[in-house]
Homo-oligomer: A and B are copies of this chain.
Amino acid sequence: MRKYCDYISVDCVIFGFEIDRLNVLLVDRTLRGEGESDIEFADHTLTGNHIYETETVGDAANRVLYDLTGLTGIYLEQFKTFAHPDRLKKENDRKWLLHDGRDPDKRIVSIGYFALLATQDVTIEWKGRNVKWVPYHEIGELAFDHNEILENALIALRNKAKHEPIGFELLPEKFTLSQLQKVYEIILDTEFDKRNFRKKVARMKYLIPLDEKQTGVAHKPARLYMFSREVYEKTKKDLFDFWV
A-side residues, CB < 8 A to B, are: 5, 7-8, 51, 53-57, 78, 80-81, 83-85, 107, 109, 111, 159, 161-166, 184, 188, 190, 200, 204, 236-237, 239-244
| Bound CA span A209–B243, Å | 18
CB neighbours of A55 from chain B (8 A)? 85
The copy count of this chain in the complex is 2
Closest partner residue, chain B, to A168 (CB atom): B243
**Contact of B83 with A80 in the complex, beta carbons under 8 Å:** no
Given A56-B84, A84-B56: A241 in contact with B241 (beta carbons within 8 A): yes
Residue ID in chain B nearest A81 by CB atoms: B81
Contact yes or no, B241 A162, CB < 8 A: yes
Contact in complex: B53, A85 (CB < 8 Å):
yes
Decide: A53 near B107, CB < 8 A? Known: A8-B83, A83-B8.
Answer: yes
A190 / chain B contacts, CB cutoff of 8 Å: 240
Enumerate chain B residues within 8 angstroms of A239, measured Cβ to Cβ: 162, 244
- Bound complex: CA A54 to CA B184 (Å): 41
Q: Are A107 and B244 in contact (CB under 8 A)?
A: no
CB < 8 Å neighbour of A57 from B81, B161, B200: B81
**Chain B contacts of A163 at CB under 8 A?**
159, 162-163, 241-244
Chain B contacts of A188 at CB under 8 A? 240
Provide the residues of chain B in CB contact with A242, threshold 8 Å. Answer: 162-163, 200
Question: Bound state CA distance, A28 and B8, in angstroms?
Answer: 30
The answer for the CA separation of A116 and B57 in the assembled complex, in Å, is 28
Chain B residues in 8 Å Cβ range of A236? 244
Residues of chain B within 8 A of A240, CB atoms compared? 162, 184, 188, 190
Complex: A84 Cα to B111 Cα, angstroms: 12
Top 9 A-B pairs, shortest CB-CB distance:
A165-B243, A81-B81, A162-B241, A239-B244, A241-B241, A57-B83, A109-B109, A54-B85, A164-B243
Given contacts A8-B107, A57-B81, 15 further A-B contacts (CB under 8 A): A5-B107, A8-B109, A51-B83, A53-B85, A56-B84, A56-B85, A78-B80, A78-B81, A81-B81, A81-B109, A109-B111, A161-B243, A165-B243, A204-B244, A241-B241
Of the A-B pairs whose beta carbons lie under 8 Å apart in the complex, a sample of 14, sorted by A's number, is: A7-B7, A8-B107, A51-B83, A53-B107, A57-B84, A81-B111, A109-B111, A161-B243, A162-B163, A163-B244, A164-B243, A200-B242, A237-B244, A241-B241
